[in-house]
Amino acid sequence: MPFTAGGADDEGSPIYGVKIPAGYREWQVVSVAHEAGDIPDIRATLGNPVAMKAFRDGTLPFPDGAIIARLAWDFVPSEENNKAFGRSQSFVAGSPKEGVQFMVKDSRKYASTDGWGFAQFFDGKPADEAALKGCFSCHEPAKARDFVFTRYAP
Amino acid sequence: MPFTAGGADDEGSPIYGVKIPAGYREWQVVSVAHEAGDIPDIRATLGNPVAMKAFRDGTLPFPDGAIIARLAWDFVPSEENNKAFGRSQSFVAGSPKEGVQFMVKDSRKYASTDGWGFAQFFDGKPADEAALKGCFSCHEPAKARDFVFTRYAP
């Protein structure tokens, strides 16, 4: 199964010890977004079944076991689509970029960060401790939604 | 289950008689895209299990039973995200727009359109015949990939 990433022997993230959840690419989509700027991307936020149920039910805080994944790809103009549309308007997902990020809810294990553990992986390798130190503080503005920026897109 | 759309009694699309597949919002994501222009959107293409297997295996043509869904949402700047990033760069999915579109593979039923039936629904109501007449011809440029524009985003 080429789309199943991670496994028991993989290296976990620093600080939080989060491993790549097996099969995360098969999870349902919470929403999508575009980050413009110097290195534009297009991204999708996926959730495991526990997270998706919470998003749909509006349950806050997210229950233990919820995992949220952020995938991102290069933001690439599509000449092919533009031809079909008859004008230049279309941007699609290119190569994966910026790694994949996870938020894992475990209210005991991650009590000091309001129950969330964070991780980022590049080609299966965890980002270093410096990269993870800002995760929790950066999510602080979304505290009212249990530190999750992404809203469910119906 | 508020995310399960459609049912046996729902009205099908003109020409093709495609109904809204139950539970399509729970399908896995093929890829994401942004259409700029006058009415910008951000969109996700989802696939049912038959379609996802074909995308991942690179199977062409898509086998009977494959269904591909296109969801789209308003392309909305996120002030909340911009504050977190420290600059104006973030666009997220707003309200659903442009309805939801489906391509359904049935090589016998839809033999005259190379095996694909098309549908578009607005709030559960099928778009009219005029709206569907262009579907197949518009997908013609992607004939080499069995008329499917979207490529799988790993």
Query: pLDDT tens, B135-153?
Result: 999 999 999 999 999 999 9
CB-side neighbour CA atoms (13 Å) of B20: 24
ipTM score for this prediction: 0.92
Query: pLDDT tens, B30-70?
Result: 999 999 988 899 999 999 999 999 999 999 999 999 999 99
Distance between CA B42 and CA B71 in Å, rounded? 9
Chain B residue numbers with beta carbons less than 8 Å from the beta carbon of A46 are 29
Which of B63, B62, B138, B132 is closest to B102 using CA atoms? B132
A60 touching chain B per CB within 8 A = no
Distance between CA B44 and CA A71 in Å, rounded? 13
Reported as type and span, the H/E element at residue B50 is: helix B49-57
Strands A67-77 and A41-47: antiparallel
Tens-of-pLDDT digits for all 154 residues of chain A?
333 345 556 789 999 999 999 999 999 999 999 999 888 999 999 999 999 999 999 999 999 999 999 999 999 999 999 998 888 999 999 999 999 999 999 999 999 999 999 999 999 999 999 999 999 999 999 999 999 999 999 9
Please tell me the pTM assigned to this model: 0.93
Are B66 and B105 in contact by the 8 Å Cβ rule? The answer is yes
Prior bond of A61 cis (ω within 30°):
yes
Chain A residue numbers with beta carbons less than 8 Å from the beta carbon of B139 are 84
B152 touching chain A per CB within 8 A = no
A54 touching chain B per CB within 8 A = no
Per-chain mean pLDDT for chain B: 93
Question: Exposed, middle or buried by CB within 10 Å (0-12, 13-18, 19+), for B40?
Answer: middle
